[in-house]
Homo-oligomer: A and B are copies of this chain.
Amino acid sequence: MIDVNSSIGVFDSGIGGLTVLRQLIRFMPDEHYIYLGDTARVPYGNKSQSIVRTYAEQFTRFLIAKNVKLIVVACNTVSSVALDTVRNIAGDIEVIGMIEHTSYAALRTTLNNKIGIIGTRATINSNAYMEGIKSIPGGENMKIISQACPLFVPIVEEGLINHQIAYLAAQEYLSNLISENVDTIVLGCTHYPLLSRVISEIVPGATLIDCGEHSSVAALRILAEKNLLRKQSASINQKPEIEFYVTDIPSIFYEQAQRFLGFPIDTPKTIDFKDLV
């Protein structure tokens, strides 16, 4: 039975979703989280829609078996192509993807009606954010400039976020957004918040929209309205309650995870994806 003490389930193709978990914790520090990263099969971006749906189904079932009160799909690819699959399986359990609330936030933020969207090639090619924005009444007339930034993920994963390489890549990728004078940029990839500083320096006039942040605010609201938020603790438990599951632990896992999450990660439990149903 779902109740106020049930966990919030978060899943991603790998560890990028830890930036989303970080935002969830920022807004709801007293919750218990279950995070699943499919580190054995990452990345999803270039895989077929059919296989991404299969993976999403497996992870949704895993979280439902853990009796979660909310599922956060902390992966832009799954959010783009398989959110309906997750929702169908989840039934009464609320599901939050990355696209919807982020699209609303972008629309509310722009003053000049020019919005940039950056993401992996897969996310940009899916047009999910563009369609997300255009489908909102008021969004039809936005000028949207989309740009895939394929080097950004490996730059972040290699920890080069303040390196000259990051600046040069941002200059290369964002020149079109600058010449089109966008005042709002959707960070449509969970890795990109780590490049916020570089992006802000290259496009100083633009407001950056973090998909994790806006999805987390939506999660807070949904749970609060259903009275499913834990009581705020009077004291500070500085270490948030997180149960980590991954399908593989690569050698640089801990270093990367700490960078994404902002604090050291406990040893995750490894699950064999062949056991997932």
A-side residues, CB < 8 A to B, are: 27, 29, 104, 107-108, 110-111, 136-139, 197, 200, 217, 220-221, 224-225, 227, 229, 234-238, 263
Contacts and interface: CB of A to CB of B under 8 A. Distances in A.
A221 B217 contact: no
B29 A238 contact: no
Given A111-B238, A197-B200, A220-B220, 18 more contacts: A27-B217, A29-B108, A107-B238, A108-B238, A110-B238, A136-B234, A136-B235, A136-B236, A137-B234, A137-B235, A137-B236, A138-B237, A217-B220, A220-B221, A221-B224, A221-B229, A225-B227, A225-B229
Nearest to A103: B236
Q: Which 7 A-B pairs have the closest CB atoms?
A: A224-B224, A137-B235, A138-B236, A107-B236, A224-B225, A138-B235, A221-B224
A236 B139 contact: yes
Contacts of A225: 224-225, 227, 229
Contacts of A236: 104, 107-108, 136-139
A73 B138 CA distance: 33
A32 B136 CA distance: 21
B27 A238 contact: no
A44 to B, nearest CB: 29
A242 to B, nearest CB: 14
Contacts of A136: 234-236
A107 B110 CA distance: 33
Contacts of A110: 238
Contacts of A29: 108
A259 B111 CA distance: 14
A193 B178 CA distance: 25
A272 to B, nearest CB: 33
Nearest to A201: B197
Nearest to A137: B235
Contacts of A139: 236
Nearest to A108: B29
Contacts of A138: 235-238
A209 to B, nearest CB: 11
Contacts of A137: 234-236
Contacts of A227: 225
Nearest to A197: B200
A234 B139 CA distance: 11
Contacts of A107: 236, 238
